[in-house]
Structure 1
Amino acid sequence: MAKLELTPIWDKVFPQSDKVEHSKVTFHNRYGIELAADLYKPKGTADGTKLPAIAVSGPFGAVKEQSSGLYAQAMAERGFLTIAFDPSFTGESGGSPRYVASPDINTEDFSAAVDYLSNREDVDPEHIGIIGICGWGGMALNAAANDPRIKATVASTMYDMSRVSANNYFDADDSADARNKLRAQLAAQRTADYAAGDYVRAGGVVDPLPDDAPQFVKDYHAYYKTPRGYHARSLNSNDGWNTTSTLSFINMPLLSYIDEIEAPVLLIHGEKAHSRYFSEDAYKKLEQGINPANKELMIIPGANHTDLYDQVDIIPFDAIDGFFTKYLK
């Protein structure tokens, strides 16, 4: 595995806390891809202490210098050792070609983070949780269904990337005809990409905004395309994913086995979020599963999708802390 080049400076879109120690680390997944992460640890932790740990990633098309790092730092302030990692093929993490998303590999990235945390001397391997934001909320639920080492999971402002890829927003194109047209377009793009020796990218958040842009697109623009959340390595802030990444999500439903998750799950979503139905439907499946008693859906009054990316007066960090304290400490 090639050695990763990690930025030595603080280049996050949020201020650095004086309550935590920050460092950069790397770990690998079972496909041999080296992943880059920011590690946050409560200051003053006594030598020999084994802390409960949390791995964080997301949103879909973001990097660890954005929302996931904010969540990780906030949870470290509350007594957890945390990492915010860049998924495979993105940010400072390895993997080639670049800018590929995969329901399998990106689910694996969470379990690889658990591998790494479980082997740290300052982590209690029996008390590891994960947080997934936006599209990585779906990956987190998928990882929790497959990896019993994950003792508690939070999915914030969650997207089911398989569902939105296959059916479009609000299931508007949920038909075989619509999917076959999309498959044909993407298959043609594969042919063209191979001939060109490169991969066409889908484009990040629309910029400039058209007058008729839906409100949720305006919300994305307000985060990814302004100083509030713009980052040079963020796919959504720039040219987006490889277009053909969509194919694997159409063909692999992410949330098939979440009703078999035994460990606790907390879903958090904004009342006004366009994506709210993803969490509500996931929660219905969790409620019908083998252990509904430790599953919870929290709706944040008045919040939209991106409010839960970075609005610290809206993100329910105290509730997240209480959830992880109950199940990890």
Structure 2
Amino acid sequence: MPLLNQKWDKTFAKSENVEHQKVSFKNRYGLVLVADLYQPKNRHEKLAAIALSGPFGAVKEQSSGLYAQTLAERGFITLAFDPSFTGESGGEPRNVASADINTEDFSAAIDFLGMQPNVDRNRIGVLAICGLSGMALTAATSDSRIKAVATASMYDMSRSISRGYQDSYTVEQRQKVIDYLSQQRWEDAGKGDYALGYHEVPFDENGNIIKGQRVLPETLPENAPTVLAAFYDYYRTPRGFHPRSINSSTAWTATTPISFFNFPMHANIDMISPRPILLIAGENAHSRYYSEDVYKQASEPKELLIIPKADHVDLYDNIKKIPFDKLSDFFQQNL
């Protein structure tokens, strides 16, 4: 259903060639999702549609909204949504992620799009950025209404959270994380509230778990690692800051990683075939290996597109590097 608050509150400029409407719908768990619906102006025939979300910890007013509006300018009906428990979408407690429920959110978006009178329900695809990419691919493995899948700067959050960056956790470290999460549940239950913490649990030089209350620091430390500096430059500066974004302002609940230890995503990725997959990654992205490994796992038809001189965050909002022509062609040809 349409919502009353239609104020423009995005991190990107509004297009004069697109109609925008804020809407809501429910997933199959009864949670209300809030989304931005973008439609090309002066088009009255049934059109192909795309559901979008991501990055992990972002909101629809950031990267996914930019992608959605740009693709609407190119003739698609697009829906950028906040996943359950985040942004303007419903669910308690706030700022918790679920590999299962957030995968379901994509199928719920397909439900909504397929009910719109100007959408051709046989021509619906999904596009996800960063950490929601794994959920989009997983949704497509069990939802044949999704006719094509594209990802940008893909992260596999199950792999990242449960095994560390480039699978660097030792078995002992993985067990330490599990023990920490298990004990945290008792702490939360005793307090009747949910502590915040890192969703990708780091270790100090002595092998101890590091705890924190924010995804990104208030100020960027001197000599910060390149990846941290790139994320900070997007989420914590006017470039991409949004007060509802977890990455801009706060952190996930400390026990959020539990779901991602339990739920390996896209385990049945071969079931997407013969529907096509497009994986886009920056040449210099620290996350590039996720797209490359999924490409190896997936069945045809599939394509891996590496963007020269681009890093992970470039594909969030750098319109000179995001391959919108390629994305438009991919969905036009396959929807």
- Report TM bin, short chain: over 0.9
The aligned amino acid for 1:66 is Q
Q: 1:317 — aligned with what?
A: 324
Give 1:7 deviation, angstroms: 4.0
Q: 2:38 — aligned with what?
A: 40
Q: 2:306 — aligned with what?
A: 299
Does residue 183 (structure 1) correspond to residue 178 (structure 2)? The answer is: yes
**Aligned with 2:113 (options 109, 113, 117):** 117
Q: 2:122 — aligned with what?
A: 126
Q: 1:218 — aligned with what?
A: 229
- Provide structure 1 residue ranges, at least 5 long, that are not aligned to the other structure: none
Does residue 282 (structure 1) correspond to residue 294 (structure 2)? The answer is: yes
How many angstroms apart in 1 are the aligned matches of 2:106 and 2:30? 14
> Which stretch of the first structure deviates more once superposed, 66-75 or 138-147?
138-147
How many angstroms apart in 1 are the aligned matches of 2:5 and 2:229? 30
Q: 2:190 — aligned with what?
A: 195
Give 1:204 deviation, angstroms: 2.0
Q: 2:154 — aligned with what?
A: 158
Does residue 73 (structure 1) correspond to residue 69 (structure 2)? The answer is: yes
Does residue 233 (structure 1) correspond to residue 244 (structure 2)? The answer is: yes
The aligned amino acid for 1:304 is D
How many angstroms apart in 2 are the aligned matches of 1:91 and 1:323? 29
TM-score (structure 1 length as normaliser): 0.94
- In 2, are the aligned partners of 1:136 and 1:159 still within 8 Å (CA)? yes
How many angstroms apart in 2 are the aligned matches of 1:201 and 1:95? 16
Aligned-partner SS, 1:116: helix
- In 2, are the aligned partners of 1:4 and 1:92 still within 8 Å (CA)? no
Aligned-partner SS, 1:247: helix
Distance verdict in 2 for CA 1:232–1:243, change over 3 Å: same
The aligned amino acid for 1:79 is G
Aligned-partner SS, 1:97: coil
Deviations 1:97-146 (A, max 9, x none): 11110010000000000011111111000000000100011111111111
How many angstroms apart in 2 are the aligned matches of 1:260 and 1:178? 33
Deviations 1:225-278 (A, max 9, x none): 000000010000011211101011012110211122121110000000000000
**Aligned with 1:13 (options 11, 14, 18):** 11
- In 1, are the aligned partners of 2:6 and 2:21 still within 8 Å (CA)? no
The aligned amino acid for 1:140 is A
Give 1:8 deviation, angstroms: 3.0
Deviations 1:175-233 (A, max 9, x none): 33221100111111111111111111122222322334321110000000000000010
Q: 2:210 — aligned with what?
A: none
TM-score (structure 2 length as normaliser): 0.93
Q: 1:143 — aligned with what?
A: 139
Equivalenced residue count is 318
Distance verdict in 2 for CA 1:27–1:296, change over 3 Å: same
Q: 2:48 — aligned with what?
A: 52
- In 2, are the aligned partners of 1:6 and 1:92 still within 8 Å (CA)? no
How many angstroms apart in 1 are the aligned matches of 2:172 and 2:121? 47
The aligned amino acid for 1:295 is K
How many angstroms apart in 1 are the aligned matches of 2:184 and 2:147? 41
The aligned amino acid for 2:32 is E
Aligned-partner SS, 1:205: coil
How many angstroms apart in 2 are the aligned matches of 1:243 and 1:8? 33
Give 1:6 deviation, angstroms: 6.4
Aligned-partner SS, 2:125: strand
How many angstroms apart in 1 are the aligned matches of 2:28 and 2:118? 23
- Provide structure 2 residue ranges, at least 5 long, that are not aligned to the other structure: 198-213
Deviations 1:65-117 (A, max 9, x none): 00000000000000000010000000010111111100100000000000111
How many angstroms apart in 2 are the aligned matches of 1:121 and 1:5? 18
Give 1:4 deviation, angstroms: 10
